[in-house]
Structure formats: structure tokens, C-alpha cells
Amino acid sequence: MLAIFKKGLVNPPQELNGPVSPQAAVSPKKSEEILKGFLSDAFNGFSIGFGDKALLAYTPLEPSFKAHQRLFCGVNDMYCIFLGSLNNLCTLNRQYGLSKGSNEAMFLIEAYRTLRDRGPYPAHEVLKDLEGSFGFVIYDHKAETVFTALGADDALKLYWGIAADGSVIISDNVDLVKASCRKSFAPFPPGCMYHNERGLMSFEHPMNKMKAMPRIDSEGAICGANFMVDAYSKVNSMPRVGSEANWANWGQQA
């Protein structure tokens, strides 16, 4: 999977941006080149663009790969790419009034829509209810909202980086992200979520701030940063519970 969000829509942590040497043999790629490379290597892949704001590309897993699933769903201008599986999907579908046949991507769109419009719980509480291995990217085209998260069990990997034109890319393909972003890429931290208004946050430890640790490549150069929970640093206030703290605007603080 591949998600590309243009500069200005998503502003990643500053530490993700690694310096590129003028003498570097290979430079970061632009969004169009990244998409072209992804689709050229994809099996039954496709992409969907949203003007100059965002782009989502998807390829199903080959039948021989059964460890995890990869899903794509779009409903009413809300789109989700999902990796993994939820062990309690049946329970969650009943809770949100969905049919038994709804898959994980459908559930996440409905959960996002419900919490965006009238939900009483902040996003970190919802993510804590998800049992299983998961990673996902949600793009709400009308609200221009980007929301992504990765499960805490570290069974799946997501990577993010900054392309040559300043766009942020997110993918489960480490080789694609590394080749596209060069020094400006890093693993997406497990147990964390990112929202384009609030930024990066741990859903397991929402009271703690995140810290960045520089990553050093084999040549001794800074290569983006690893992000982790700072056990000794707290946020100013607990994320609000109520209609003002849903998935669309959970960046608001009391």
C-alpha cells in the first residue's frame, strides 16, 4: 500500500526530515515518480487521486501470502487502507451496527464517521479496543483529515518519509520508502497514531509526550528519527472526552 499526502496537508515531525548531502549519488523522488514505481511493481494495483492534496495506491496481497490481509474501502469520500486483522471484529461490528460481513476497513470507516460526527470517546480509547495486529491509513477527503495508526504488538510494519517535493508518504514497503525518501524516512512507531492537526501521539500512553531519537545509517549520517514514548514527559492535559474530542478534531485540548 502507498499513501501520499502533499506538503501542507500533512506536516510530519521535523525530526523525520534528514539532511541530504549535495554529493549524494541518488536524490529523493517526487510523488509522481514514487507512484509510477509502485504501480510498475504492483500486482493488480490501482491508485486514486484527490486533486493536488492526496493520493492512495493499493495492491492486494498475493494468494500465497496468508499471514495478514490488506484491504481497501471507500465510503462517502472516506477511504481506508487496512493491514492485518482484528480478532474482535464481530464484536466491534455489532457495537457499531454493522453487518457480519463487514471487514476491518469497513469497520474503521464507520467508527471514524461515527466518532467524527457524534462520538463520545477520544481516538486513543477507540484504538485500545482493537484486538489484533493492525495498521491503517484513513483519508477523509471532504474534511481533508489524515489519520493513521499502527498496533502495539509490532507484528506489522509501516514506514513514513518525506519525498523530494515535501510530500509525506506512508507505506508498508520499506524498500519503496527508503528508495523514495533517502535520508528522510523512519519506521512508524507501534502503539501510536498520527493526525494531521495534532501530530504524533501514543494511543497506549496518551499522557506521555513523544520523543525522537536520531537514526544513523551505515555511513554514519543522520537518517530520519525513531519516535518513542517519553516516560518522563507528560502532555499539558488529558485528551478531552466528549464530542469535541472525536477523530476529526482530537487535536483540540482542554
> How many domains is the chain partitioned into structurally?
1
In a domain, 254, yes or no: no
Mark residue 105 as left, alpha or beta (left: phi above 0; alpha: psi -120 to 50; beta: remaining).
Answer: alpha
Give how far Cα 103 sits from Cα of 69, 90, 155, Å: 11, 9, 20
Higher pLDDT residue, 70 or 219?
70
Confidence of residue 62 (pLDDT cuts 50, 70, 90): low
In a domain, 252, yes or no: no
Query: What is the predicted pLDDT for the residue at 24?
Result: 53
In a domain, 251, yes or no: no
Query: What is the predicted pLDDT for the residue at 43?
Result: 76
In a domain, 204, yes or no: yes
- CATH number at 197 reads 3.60.20.10
Confidence of residue 152 (pLDDT cuts 50, 70, 90): very high
In a domain, 205, yes or no: yes
Alpha carbon distance 107, 89 (integer Å) = 8
pLDDT, tens digit, for every residue of 166-198?
999 999 999 999 999 988 999 999 999 999 988
Give the pLDDT mean for 90-104. 93
Rg (CA), the chain: 18
Length of the chain: 254
In a domain, 253, yes or no: no
pLDDT(245) > 60: no
94, 102 contact by CB (below 8 A): no
Alpha carbon distance 74, 154 (integer Å) = 26
pLDDT(105) > 60: yes
Query: What is the predicted pLDDT for the residue at 150?
Result: 97
Q: In which domain, by residue range, is 93 found?
A: 2-245
Higher pLDDT residue, 164 or 60?
164
Determine the angle formed by the axes of helices 174-181 and 31-41, rounding to 10 degrees: 150
Higher pLDDT residue, 18 or 93?
93
Give the pLDDT mean for 19-27. 59
